[in-house]
């Protein structure tokens, strides 16, 4: 209980007023929770950024720009990154094997990198929603001009005591953002079916990017066939146009290779054992044969000696 209480105390509540909507005609109060951004992996911009929890589902950058302009004036707020939007932006349509090869790419020239980025961006199909909505309780990170601006926002938040002083959500945005409701759904229905020329152009660029990455994967696979890793092992690669095998696949292939070599060795050992057994058997027969011959020779010598009579 003490730990959760201290965690809540790290945040400063920022109360905003949600204006009446056609779906809900009463004005409501929404709580934002803000604190200085302290991620596990520090970045150079942590001192001038704020972590915001429990953002409204219809949040946009324009909404927060108007909100912070109302609190501390214009020119202090720079940008905002939504956590849900960041996850979705990382999900692209590039081939799966390109993700496996990302760590092995060589550094390209600046003009090539920009051209590749433009091609990959153009290879994505057009969005189907005119405006992004977020799950309840989503978070965001707001970036400000300097650390002083962050201090001003935190101080202005603590001064908001009466409902008449609470900022109104969306005040000053006007028609700068696409509307929600039925118009939002109609726009989605229209954007879901782009024209054939747009789809064809997107697919052409997509396969251009795909073929380029396939060629890079093939060249990399050739290099890795005889290139040992940090442990001194050679990476096991798949044949043909496929990318290098994953670590588990490489271990499995290595185990199969060792089992095959051991089986071959066992077969050769059994083969040599058969030869040795036959050789010992032949030697035994030859030894018995010589023994019988020596036995007969001794018997003949005894008989011959029995008939000998020395002269007196």
Instruction: Note whether residue 223 is domain-resident.
Output: no
Average pLDDT, the chain: 78
Q: Are 275 and 189 contained in the same domain?
A: no
Q: pLDDT per residue over 228-245, tens digit each?
A: 655 666 655 555 444 445
The residue behind tokens 């915001």 is: 52
Instruction: Note whether residue 245 is domain-resident.
Output: no
CA separation for the pair 228, 306 (Å, rounded): 84
Confidence label for 153 from pLDDT (cuts 50, 70 and 90): very high
pLDDT at residue 101, as a whole number: 46
Question: With contact defined as beta carbons under 8 Å apart, do 82 and 140 qualify?
Answer: yes
Instruction: Note whether residue 88 is domain-resident.
Output: yes
**Cα 79 from chain centroid (whole Å):** 26
Burial class (CB in 10 A: 0-12, 13-18, 19+), 80: buried
Instruction: Note whether residue 222 is domain-resident.
Output: no
Q: Are 84 and 186 contained in the same domain?
A: yes
Which of 79-88, 177-186, 296-305 has the least mean pLDDT? 79-88
Instruction: Note whether residue 104 is domain-resident.
Output: yes
Q: Are 78 and 163 contained in the same domain?
A: yes
Q: Are 290 and 168 contained in the same domain?
A: no
Instruction: Note whether residue 206 is domain-resident.
Output: no
Residue 226, token pair as written in the block: 């005889």
pLDDT at residue 61, as a whole number: 94
Cα radius of gyration rounded to whole Å, the chain: 41
More confident call, 171 vs 267? 171
Which of 196, 214, 249 is the last residue before a domain boundary?
A: 196
The range of the structural domain enclosing residue 137 comes to 2-112+132-196
Confidence label for 77 from pLDDT (cuts 50, 70 and 90): very high
Q: pLDDT per residue over 162-176, tens digit each?
A: 888 899 999 988 888
Q: Whose CA is closest to 67, among 95, 30, 101?
A: 30
Say which residues have a Cβ less than 8 Å from residue 97's Cβ, sequence separation at least 6: 213, 214, 217, 242, 243
Q: Are 168 and 284 contained in the same domain?
A: no
Q: How many structural domains comprise the chain?
A: 2
Instruction: Note whether residue 184 is domain-resident.
Output: yes
Q: Are 185 and 311 contained in the same domain?
A: no
Instruction: Note whether residue 225 is domain-resident.
Output: no
Which residues is 237 bridged to in the sheet? 244
Q: Are 162 and 306 contained in the same domain?
A: no
- Considering the entire predicted model, what is its pTM? 0.56
Whether 274 shows a pLDDT value over 60: the answer reads yes
Q: Are 183 and 274 contained in the same domain?
A: no
Q: Are 80 and 158 contained in the same domain?
A: yes
Q: Are 11 and 106 contained in the same domain?
A: yes
Q: Are 296 and 180 contained in the same domain?
A: no
């Amino acid at each position: 209980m003490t730990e959760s209480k201290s965690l809540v105390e790290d945040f400063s509540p920022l109360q905003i007023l949600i204006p009446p909507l056609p779906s809900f005609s009463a004005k409501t109060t929404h709580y934002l929770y803000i604190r200085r951004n302290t991620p596990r992996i520090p970045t150079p911009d942590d001192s001038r950024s704020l972590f915001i929890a429990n953002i409204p589902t219809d949040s946009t950058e324009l909404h927060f720009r108007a909100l912070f302009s109302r609190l501390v004036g214009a020119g202090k707020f720079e940008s905002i990154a939504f956590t849900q939007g960041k996850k979705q932006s990382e999900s692209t349509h590039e081939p799966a094997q390109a993700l496996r090869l990302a760590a092995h790419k060589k550094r390209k020239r600046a003009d090539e990198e920009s051209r590749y980025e433009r091609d990959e961006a153009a290879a994505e199909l057009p969005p189907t929603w005119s405006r992004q909505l977020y799950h309840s309780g989503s978070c965001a990170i707001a970036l400000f001009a300097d650390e002083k601006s962050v201090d001003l926002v935190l101080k202005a938040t603590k001064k908001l005591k009466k409902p008449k002083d609470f900022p109104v959500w969306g005040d000053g945005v006007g028609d700068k953002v696409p509307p929600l409701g039925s118009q939002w759904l109609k726009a989605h229905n229209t954007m879901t079916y782009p024209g054939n020329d747009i789809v064809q152009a997107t697919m052409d660029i997509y396969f251009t990017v795909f073929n380029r990455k396939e060629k890079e994967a093939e060249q990399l696979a050739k290099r890795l066939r005889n290139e040992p890793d940090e442990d001194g092992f050679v990476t096991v690669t798949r044949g043909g146009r496929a990318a290098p095998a994953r670590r588990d696949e490489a271990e499995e292939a290595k185990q199969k290779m060792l089992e095959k070599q051991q089986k071959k060795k066992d077969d050769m050992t059994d083969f040599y054992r058969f030869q040795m057994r036959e050789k010992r058997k032949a030697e035994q027969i030859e030894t018995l044969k010589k023994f019988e011959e020596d036995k007969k020779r001794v018997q003949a010598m005894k008989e011959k000696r029995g008939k000998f009579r020395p002269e007196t």
